[in-house]
Amino acid sequence: MIHFVLLISRQGKVRLTKWYSLYSQKERSKVLRELSGDILSRGPKLCNFVEWRGYKVVYKRYASLYFCMCTNQEDNELEILEIIHHFVEILDRYFGSVCELDLIFNFHKAYYILDEILIAGELQESSKKTVARLIAAQDSLLETAEEQANTISNMIVQATKK
């Protein structure tokens, strides 16, 4: 089980946090502080695993961002690396070669995508195509709702003008 997912920039800024286990707000900021220190200071050639408080944090750096997932000792670290990669590939397809700025300005979309990949700290979907399709369907629901809202407000504007 994945206990939390963190996206941390090379400067230590938090770009996304998702908690699947119980952590109070205080604990969350402590975890962030501890882990960003541990992970950002590691050299490039070292292994992608950090042992931390009886758990294992698997991280991988993509460009300026560190993707970190915390799992139990007995979980398969290599698989977690694949899950991270899976997530990155889906983000990449969605944003069209994703960069840190995409994730800053569209952080909510990154969360929506993550919610299609993980629930309760477990993997939900192994097909990138399916995830993309589901996200697209929900985005279009959003657009139609906006259009409707526009037409309604237009109608109200028109009505009040008369």
Partner 1 sequence: MNPFSSGTRLRDMIRAIRACKTAAEERAVVRKECATIRAAVSENDQDYRHRNLAKLMFIHMLGYPTHFGQMECLKSIASAGFPEKRIGYLGLMLLLDERQEVLMLVTNSLKQDLNHTNQYIVGLALCALGNICSAEMARDLAPEVERLLQFRDPNIRKKAALCSIRIIKKVPDLAENFISPAAALLKEKHHGVLITGVQLCTDLCKVSTEALDYFRKRCTEGLVKVLKDVVNSPYSPEYDMSGITDPFLHIRFLRLLRILGQGDADASDCMNDILAQVATKTEPNKNAGNAILYECVETIMSIEDNSGLRVLAINILGRFLSNRDNNIRYVALNMLMKAIAVDAQAVQRHRATILECVKDSDASIRKRALELIFLLVNESNVKPLTKELIDYLEVSDQEFKEDLTAKICSIVEKFSPEKQWYIDQMLKVLSEAGNFVKDEVWHALIVVISNAPDLHGYTVRALYRAVQTSGEQESLVRVAVWCIGEYGEMLVNNVGMLNIEEPITVTESDAVDVLEIAMKRHTSDITTRAMSLIALLKLSSRFPSCSQRVKEIIVQHKGGLVLELQQRSIEFNSIIERHQNIRPALVERMPVLDEATYSGKRAGSLPPTVSTSTGSSLNLPNGVAKPPAAPLVDLLDLTSDDAPAPSSSDGDFLQDLLGVDLAPIPSLSGTSQAPPSGTDVLLDLLSIGTPPPVQTNPSTPIISSPSQNSQTSVAPLERLSSLSSPLSTQVSSPAGASPIVDLLDGLSPSLSMPDNKAQESNFSDNNGLVYPSIVAFQSGSLKMMFSFSKPPGNPQTTIIQATFTNMSSNVYTDFIFQAAVPKFVQLHLDPASSNSLPASGNGSVTQKFRVTNSQHGQKPLAMRIRIAYKVNGQDVLEQGQINKFPAGL
Which parts of this chain interact with partner 1 (CB under 8 A)? 14-20, 22-25, 29, 43, 45-51, 76-79, 81-83, 85-86, 104-105, 107-108, 111-112, 115, 119-120, 122-130, 134, 137-138, 141-142, 145-146
Measured between its terminal Cα atoms, the distance across the chain in Å is 61
CB of 18 to partner 1, least distance (A): 8
CB of 63 to partner 1, least distance (A): 18
Write the CB contacts of 50 (distance below 8 Å, at least 6 apart in sequence): 35, 38, 39, 42, 56, 57, 59
Which two three-digit tokens encode residue 3?
């206990």
CB of 162 to partner 1, least distance (A): 20
CB of 69 to partner 1, least distance (A): 14
CA angle 10, 39, 26 (to 5 degrees): 95
Measured CA to CA, the distance from residue 141 to residue 155 in angstroms comes to 21
Report yes or no: 80 and 87 within 8 Å, Cβ to Cβ. no
Closest to partner 1 by CB, 13 or 63: 13
In one-letter notation, the amino acid at residue 42 is R
DSSP state letter for 47: -
CB of 50 to partner 1, least distance (A): 6
